[in-house]
C-alpha cells in the first residue's frame, strides 16, 4: 500500500510530462508549413493608419492546409482566400466582399533531416466580388518553401512569385512577390513566441512604392476545444517600416488554427 502511494506521484508526473511533450510537439508542427497535417488557419487582420481610407481595414483570411504522404514525397496544398472590409474614401463608399484566391502546392522530399524544402506552382484566380478587392487577373508562377527546425526553434520561409496572363483587359497587369518568413521559439506547454511578417512587392509599381515590409511579432498558444480538438490561438502586431504611400502604417493580427488531422 505504501509503495502504491509513493508510486502515484511519479506516475502523475510522468503522465503530465508526456502530455506536455505531445502538446509542444504539435505546437512546433503547426509552425512548419510542410508538416503532415490538415488544418484551417483563420487570420483576422486589422490595418490601421492608412491615409487612403477613413478608418481601419479588416480582412478574415482563410488559409487551408492539406498535406498528403506518398511513397517518395509529400504533397502539401495551401490556399489563401479572404473576406474583406474597406472603409469609405473621399471618393468611394465602404466595400465588403471576397478577395481573389491563391492556390499553391508543394512537392517535398519525404526523407529529410532538420532542413526541409518544397517547390511547386502558384495560381492566382480573379474571384474578387469587387474590383477594389482584387486584380481582375489570372496569374501563375512558382512557390518555394524552406524549413529548418530543432526541438525548440523553427525557421521557415514561404515565397511565391506570380505573373498575370489573362483576365480583364482593362485592368493593370500583375507582377507580384510574396514572402512569409517565420522565426519561432517554443516556450513549453503549447506556448510559442514568433514573428511571421508577410513581405510583399508589386514590381509594376513606381519607384518607392513597390515594397511593404512589416516588423513585429507575437505569441501562440495551443489549446484543446472540448479536450479533443487542437486549436492554435495567437495574437501579433506589425508595423510597416517600408510601405507604399497609401498602405496602412500597421496591422493587428489574430490567428486561430483548427487542426483537423494531426
Element (H, E) at 27: helix 2-29
pLDDT for the residue 14 = 35
DSSP secondary structure code for residue 55 in this structure: S
Helices (H) and strands (E) in the chain, counts: 1, 15
Dist. CA 142–CA 136, nearest whole Å: 20
Neighbours of 35 (CB within 10 A): 19
C-alpha cell belonging to residue 81: 482566400
pLDDT, tens digit (0-9, with 9 covering 90-100), for 212-225: 999 999 999 999 98
| Alpha-carbon distances of 158 from 12, 31, 36, 122, 233, rounded to whole Å | 41, 12, 16, 12, 21
Pairing, β 137-149 against β 115-125: antiparallel
Using a CB cutoff of 8 Å and minimum separation of 24, what contacts does 56-59 make? 56/87, 57/84, 57/85, 57/86, 57/87, 57/248, 58/84, 58/85, 59/83, 59/84, 59/85, 59/99
Model pTM score: 0.87
C-alpha cell belonging to residue 205: 509599381
C-alpha cell belonging to residue 181: 518568413
pLDDT for the residue 18 = 38
Most trustworthy range by pLDDT among 25-29, 76-80, 148-152: 76-80
Give me the domains of the chain, ranges plus CATH numbers.
2-261 (2.40.160.40)
What's the mean pLDDT when you consider all of the chain?
90
**Those residues with Cβ within 8 angstroms of residue 128's Cβ, 6 or more apart along the chain or in another chain:** 97, 98, 99, 100, 134, 135, 136
Dist. CA 238–CA 252, nearest whole Å: 7
Task: Answer yes or no: is pLDDT of 230 > 80.
Answer: yes
Task: Answer yes or no: is pLDDT of 126 > 50.
Answer: yes
Mean pLDDT value across residues 146-151: 92
Q: Are residues 236 and 253 in contact, defined by beta-carbon separation less than 8 angstroms?
A: yes
Amino acid at each position: 500500500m505504501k509503495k502504491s502511494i509513493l508510486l502515484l506521484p511519479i506516475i502523475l508526473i510522468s503522465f503530465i510530462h508526456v502530455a506536455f511533450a505531445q502538446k509542444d510537439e504539435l505546437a512546433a508542427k503547426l509552425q512548419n508549413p510542410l508538416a503532415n497535417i490538415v488544418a484551417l488557419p483563420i487570420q483576422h487582420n486589422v490595418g490601421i493608419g492608412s491615409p487612403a481610407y477613413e478608418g481601419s481595414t479588416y480582412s478574415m483570411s482563410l488559409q487551408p492546409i492539406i498535406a498528403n504522404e506518398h511513397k517518395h514525397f509529400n504533397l502539401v496544398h495551401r490556399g489563401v482566400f479572404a473576406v474583406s472590409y474597406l472603409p469609405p474614401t473621399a471618393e468611394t463608399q465602404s466595400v465588403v466582399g471576397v478577395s481573389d484566391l491563391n492556390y499553391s502546392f508543394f512537392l517535398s522530399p519525404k526523407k529529410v533531416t532538420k532542413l526541409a524544402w518544397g517547390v511547386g506552382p502558384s495560381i492566382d484566380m480573379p474571384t474578387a466580388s469587387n474590383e477594389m478587392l482584387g486584380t481582375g487577373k489570372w496569374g501563375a508562377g512558382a512557390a518555394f518553401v524552406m524549413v529548418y527546425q530543432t526541438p525548440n526553434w523553427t525557421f521557415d520561409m514561404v515565397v511565391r512569385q506570380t505573373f498575370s496572363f489573362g483576365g480583364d483587359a482593362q485592368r493593370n497587369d500583375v507582377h507580384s512577390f510574396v514572402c512569409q518568413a517565420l522565426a519561432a521559439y517554443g516556450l513549453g506547454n503549447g506556448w510559442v513566441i514568433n514573428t511571421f511578417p508577410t513581405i510583399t512587392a508589386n514590381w509594376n509599381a513606381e519607384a518607392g512604392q513597390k515594397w511593404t515590409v512589416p516588423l513585429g511579432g507575437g505569441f501562440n498558444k495551443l489549446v484543446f476545444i472540448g479536450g479533443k480538438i487542437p486549436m492554435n490561438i495567437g495574437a501579433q502586431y506589425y508595423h510597416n517600416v517600408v510601405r507604399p504611400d497609401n498602405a496602412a502604417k500597421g496591422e493587428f493580427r489574430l490567428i486561430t488554427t483548427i487542426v483537423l488531422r494531426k
